[in-house]
Structure 1
């Protein structure tokens, strides 16, 4: 009971601090359920990284508090350069972002000047600035198909699994960067098959950052938002879900009477059947949210030239998906 009272006190303090700072809290689907609930209760949003940034851009808030990882704060700053953007922990990173350092990526791009550079949203501001297009997992197929129809050659980064999925669905040859998400890459096809045998009635929902063998077993392959929509709209009452387990909060919210099972990440020597949660996302918590609001720490600052270039590559996507 005492812990609940302490948590409630912190939440109330955050809500008050948000008002005092004219701030809005935007949270990703993969952070803890208490942060997701607080974001919505306080007039913010729970969504994917690009929609989080767009919500902040369209809000009247002077300050955007980002519960997620560092590149999400950077995306918010790119779309709202005049606003103060704070993250809860500057050490909360992303394996896809870290796997694609700007110096190496620029050299990679320079070797293929005839290719259109398409990067996934899970990248640094500098990489977005080097790109021609920024895409999300929900928009990648359509953008790559459009470029192919225009006769363009595509250079893709950083997620190789999402890239191979796009390639398999479109038939478009892409020059591929070798990056992967440490959470999604661990899903195991053999373990998933065994779980499907135990639950033959279950629908299988898979994020395209997963290995191709896992994707091949899916009923629905899609972005976080698309998987949540599928959980609500599909007729199955049980789902096996291959993405970060933080998404279960929203899935249970939109489909409270349905059952959700984590897809297995177990392998030789594994000490849990499914460990599908990003350690960097787990660095976000209520205490850090309140501290960030009170101190103004963890501000995202980006060079104006980088912002201008990165905004162009994001704006292409926003215009295309209107």
Structure 2
């Protein structure tokens, strides 16, 4: 089927089944364009709770769909490709969280939403890259267990003055780990007037070269309000597609064209269509896990509202 045919079939199924499509900023352009709501993990978590829908097709990775399922037990949450699993989330099994809590009984546990639900059920509160500093600053504790991304933990420590203990010791996003200071310097030589926007999952030496440290949603906001015409974008290339589409008068340069999340790109329009048509693959979180993880997520939403 052509993209136009698929789009028409998806539109008809959404109306028939009262369904919506949520898509992360790192999705391929065709899926971005088909989404009812496009955004980062925090924005999509909020949107999943606000929408009037019976079925939510989540074009993202596993932990994102789990968040939507936890927040909306009355809705059927689907993921088009069940192999869309975040490697970083898999670096923090619940066993490691429990061990860290035993070793640091007075510490607050803040887990990045890029973590599987079972681990998040052990957290006091979750966070995203957009609100991590705000969440940690809102806590009374000065000692924070933070996982799974070590680079985001470093960013939080620099901006809160609290003792941040990363769990695991070296959790990381393989895409953001690709970026080097030399990549940015080369682009700045070519485009000296460009603003450098860096995602906080990047290494500290890369963050230090940023004009602004930004989540994906914050990069969109910065591009909109900045007087600059050029931007060096230090995150997954999917966001560059959206930036170029929404701000065609400006130029956006990805630090690496190879900065691609293979797991995010597992979804395509055909899979979105089949997911909605066949109502699979259903994302389910055990009720006892969901209840605890939902509390940590809801606390995050309260702090960042």
**What TM-score, normalized to structure 2?**
0.96
2:298 matched residue in structure 1? 315
Match of 1:196 in 2: 188
Does residue 250 of structure 2 align to residue 258 of structure 1? Answer: yes
Q: From 7, 30, 35, give the equivalent of 2:31.
A: 35
Residue 234 of structure 1 deviates from its aligned partner by 0.9
Which residue of 2 is the match for residue 50 of structure 1? 42
CA deviation string 1:124-154 (max 9, x = no partner) = 111111100100111111121222xx24421
Deviates more, 1:51-60 or 1:125-134: 51-60
- 1:82 paired with 2:105, answer no
The residue number in structure 2 matching 1:175 is: 165
Of 8, 14, 17, the match for 1:12: 8
2:215 aligns to what?
223
What does 1:252-291 correspond to in 2, within 5 Å? 252-264=244-256, 274-291=257-274
Distance between the aligned counterparts of 1:24 and 1:287, measured in 2? 16
Measured at CA, do residues 151 and 113 of structure 1 come closer, stay the same or move farther in structure 2, by a change above 3 Å?
closer
What is the deviation of 1:34? 1.1
Cα shift readout 1:45-97 (whole Å, capped 9, x = no counterpart): 00111221221211110111000111111000011011100001111011220
Aligned mate of 1:245, from 222, 229, 237: 237
Question: Retained in 2: the 8 A contact 1:24–1:56?
Answer: no
Instruction: Give unpaired runs (5+ residues) of structure 2.
Output: none
Q: Could you say which residue in structure 2 is the equivalent of 1:293?
A: 276
Equivalent residues of 2:175, 2:259 under 8 A apart: yes
Task: Could you list the structure 1 runs, at least 4 aligned residues long, displaced by more than 6 angstroms after superposition.
Answer: none
Q: How many residues align?
A: 303
C-alpha contact 1:141 1:170 (8 A) present in aligned 2: yes
Q: Which residue of 2 aligns with 1:26?
A: 22
Q: 2:97 maps to what in 1?
A: 105
State yes or no: 1:305 paired with 2:295.
Answer: no
Q: CA deviation at 1:109?
A: 2.2
User: For 1:218, what is the secondary structure of its paired residue?
Assistant: coil
Residue equivalent to 2:118: 126
Deviates most, 165-174 or 274-283: 165-174
CA–CA distance in structure 2, aligned partners of residues 261 and 249 of structure 1: 10
Of the three residues 206, 215, 226, the one matched with 2:198 is 206
Give the 5 Å matches for 1:116-155: 116-147=108-139, 150-155=140-145
- Corresponding residue to 1:166 among 152, 156, 160: 156
CA distance in 2 between counterparts of 1:106 and 1:246 reads 35
CA distance in 2, matches of 1:212, 1:321: 25
TM-score (norm 1): 0.91
Deviation at 1:108, TM superposition (A): 2.3
Structure 1's unaligned 5+ residue stretches are 265-273
Q: How far apart, in 2, do the equivalents of 1:162 and 1:80 lie?
A: 28
Change (3 A) 1:114 1:170: same
How many angstroms apart in 2 are the aligned matches of 1:146 and 1:69?
Answer: 28
Match of 1:63 in 2: 55
Report if the CA contact (8 A) 2:22-2:37 is conserved: yes
